Amino acid sequence: MKKHVLAFAVAALAVGGAFAQANDTIGKVKASGVITMGVRDSSGGLSYTMGDGKYGGFHVEICQRIIGNLEKAIGKKVEVKYLPVTSQNRIPLVQNGTVDIECGSTTNNAARAKDVSFVDTTFVEEVRIAVKAKSGINSIAQLNGKNVATTTGTTSVQLLRKHERAKGVDFKEVFGKDHADSFLLLESGRADAFVMDGQILAGNIASSKSPSDYKIVGEPLSVEPIAIMVRKDDAAFKKLADDTVKDLMKSGEIQKIYDKWFVQPIPPKNVAINLPASAATKAAWANPNDKPVEDYLKK
């Protein structure tokens, strides 16, 4: 009986140790020499694939800066592994320790904050609607009877349904597994509109075969803080990430990084997204915070 009790105690300690390590990213990376960055294949200028296992974007570069400071903190270089994530699996992969830092296009909201922590906001997004330029669609009301694409695991269509101008508008949702798939639904005519973060729409349009065939219409459906994710209850790593971001904001370096990915031509096609930083994004840089979207919606 005592042997069973001892075995149980050892197992419990092992599980507890693993859990503790999962919530100590700095210690975990120091011990393993590896950090896993969650990235997106088609999140516009925030995070996207450049081919051959390489990723770029505003949030990818900011995460690289955070990792640089992590290396200074532990006193050695680390191997960075890039793991593509989706809207559906990004939070579980951060929670279970598979991904150490998620550098995509995630909205900071109260529900998600129960499961993960968000680094101070680096980008404030406007949710918009993309359509084909010749569609004749210019407003929410004109989506009545149409197919509207969105990406599985995102909140965009929920925002559209809640919008006051969507009252009485009956549309059918069609889902893409990722943002590129959702844009393909619009491109192929299987959807009449694609509802998503404006910069993701702009990025997919810019990299499409014929950018002039598309336009972004209607008023913003929502203004949302987009932030980098880390594990919950890991105060030391969150502080390191927050301090890195604050230093970039204070020095003005964050504006240069932003312009590199959203204003200047970007690889691999050397096409510019042409999306200057909004007033809301600049306000977040001037007053660093990790407030959820619910705070932005308060009047």
Give residue-wise pLDDT tens across range 156-174.
Answer: 888 888 887 788 899 999 9
* Angstrom distance (rounded) from CA 246 to CA 240: 10
The pLDDT tens digits of the residues spanning 18-65 come to 444 558 999 999 999 999 999 999 999 999 999 999 999 999 999 999
CATH fold for domain 2-124+225-297: D-Maltodextrin-Binding Protein; domain 2 (3.40.190)
H or E element in which residue 53 lies? none
Smallest CA-to-CA distance from 87 within 2, 40, 150, 153 is with 153
Residue 268, preceding peptide bond in cis (omega within 30° of 0): yes
Q: Where are the domains of the chain?
A: 2-124+225-297, 126-224
Q: What is the pTM of this model?
A: 0.79
- Residue 191 to residues 54, 132, 175, 194, 222: CA-CA distances in angstroms? 30, 10, 9, 7, 21
Q: Are 156 and 181 in contact (CB under 8 A)?
A: no
- Residue 12 pLDDT level (bands cut at 50, 70, 90): very low
The CATH code belonging to domain 126-224 is 3.40.190.10
Query: 21-25, 145-149, 208-212: lowest mean pLDDT where?
Result: 21-25
* Angstrom distance (rounded) from CA 77 to CA 94: 22
- Residue 155 pLDDT level (bands cut at 50, 70, 90): confident
Q: Which residues contact 94 (CB under 8 A, 6 or more apart)?
A: 38, 102, 115, 116, 229, 230, 231
- Residue 220 pLDDT level (bands cut at 50, 70, 90): confident
Q: Which residue has the tokens 């990213």?
A: 25
**Is residue 5 predicted with pLDDT exceeding 60?**
no
Dihedral angle over CA of 136, 279, 113, 92, nearest 10: 60
DSSP string of 116-153? EEEPSP-EEEEEEEEEETTS---SGGGGTT-EEEEETT
- Residue 6 pLDDT level (bands cut at 50, 70, 90): very low
Strand arrangement of the beta sheet that strand 42-43 belongs to: 42-43, 47-51, 54-56
- Identical fold for domains 2-124+225-297 and 126-224, yes or no, is yes
The pLDDT tens digits of the residues spanning 74-85 come to 999 999 999 999
The one-letter code for the residue type at 136 is G
Decide: helix, strand or coil at residue 104. strand
Phi and psi dihedrals of 196, rounded to 5? Answer: -170, 175
pLDDT at res. 153: 86
Mean per-residue pLDDT, 98-106: 97
Q: Longest C-alpha distance within the chain, in Å? A: 77
